[in-house]
Amino acid sequence: MALKDVIGQESAIKILKSAVLKRKAASAYLFHGPSGIGKRLAALNFAKALNCTAAEGDGDACGSCTPCRRIEGGMHPDVLEVRPEKGVIRIDEIRSLEEALSLSAYEGSFKVAIVDEAHLMKIEAANAFLKCLEEPPAGSVIILVSSAPERLPDTIRSRCQAIGFKPLCGRDMALLLEDRIKEPDKKGKTLQSLIGLSMGRPGLVIGNGKGADILKKRQDFLKALHEMLFSKPGGSKNPVWADKEEIEDFMDGLELFLRDLLVLRTTGREDLLMLGPEVPGELKTIFKTAEEEVIIDCYRGVTEIREGLVYNPNKSILWNYTAGMLKRLLPHPEKRPG
């Protein structure tokens, strides 16, 4: 695998290949964009291109020489990676990385450090890492990968060359997913469902069981949303969220639901809906009555909720707050059918 195999990120890949060709790699990069769109994959393949011994003429790696194979297998001594453990990156991991970067390369032309989900660095880890960015070791390239770059300190962001990655278009998603659907008789329907639910993020779908998992998450979301909006007082088991990950999954589904509401209200086209036809009947009534201003306001509210998740809010309070916000979408009593 090489940079050319990172689908749907042509602008970012062009910048990286040019840096290799001109031998002008920056000392630090920030790869930013939604999760599951290929940022880490691009970082690993950029590391290959920088250290490839049989590089192609366009600045890409060959993918088959010894350094490329060792990087692919996570065995290259000059390519280092830090990933979050239990949702955080601690100062000890950053100090170990800095120590390794201070040493000369063993085999390759560059030492490459990849910090995945860099925004999860604890504040003391980020402060310690700043020194490394201010005085980068010679022959090193640092790549911060983040789906929430706004959570990184300004002092870190300002010292990195930012490269944006974007969600994939439907055509590129189909190209990646088509051969991975095992049931030929359901291929068309399943493919369209996965493309819509993934929102252009193949990493949410590709992998053992992930396709089935994202379809199940749709059903779980619709069930939770129905309970949130239509359970009688005292009848809900709220909150149904077990942990922060389930809250984030719910917010993913809620963004899709609000997007579908707005699309249907403005275009009237059901074929553009991402959640598909499986929306329960009571929820479908909202599609006919929700006001555009309220939908947009709810979407802003979801954004604010996401930003607040870093503070680990009380699940019960958050459930009730979200329910109150969303119930504004329901038709007024005098307008409700029946």
- pLDDT of 310 reads 77
Which residue in the block uniquely carries the two structure tokens 């439907």? 170
Residue bearing tokens 């909150």: 239
Same fold, 3-164 and 208-335: no
Q: What is the pLDDT of residue 208?
A: 52
CA distance 39 to 201: 11
Instruction: Say what the pLDDT of residue 205 is.
Output: 82
- The domain made up of 208-335 has a fold known as Zinc Finger, Delta Prime; domain 3 (1.20.272)
* Structure confidence at residue 254 (pLDDT): 93
Mean pLDDT by 10 residues, the chain (338 residues): 94 96 95 94 97 90 95 95 92 94 90 96 94 91 95 95 95 83 60 82 73 80 89 63 87 91 87 72 82 94 88 89 93 52
pLDDT of residue 191: 80
**CATH tag, 3-164:** 3.40.50.300
The span from the CA of 25 to the CA of 129, in Å, is 20
pLDDT of residue 335: 45
Please give the order of strands across the beta sheet that includes 28-32: 79-82, 111-115, 140-146, 28-32, 161-164
pLDDT of residue 302: 94
Burial letters 83-114, b for 16+ CB under 10 A, else e: ebeeeebbbebbeebbeebeeebeebbbbbbb
Domain boundaries, the chain: 3-164, 208-335
pLDDT of the residue at 273? 80
User: DSSP secondary structure string, 275-338?
Assistant: SGGG--HHHHHHHHH--HHHHHHHHHHHHHHHHHGGG---HHHHHHHHHHHHGGGSPPGGGS--
The per-residue pLDDT for 262 is 92
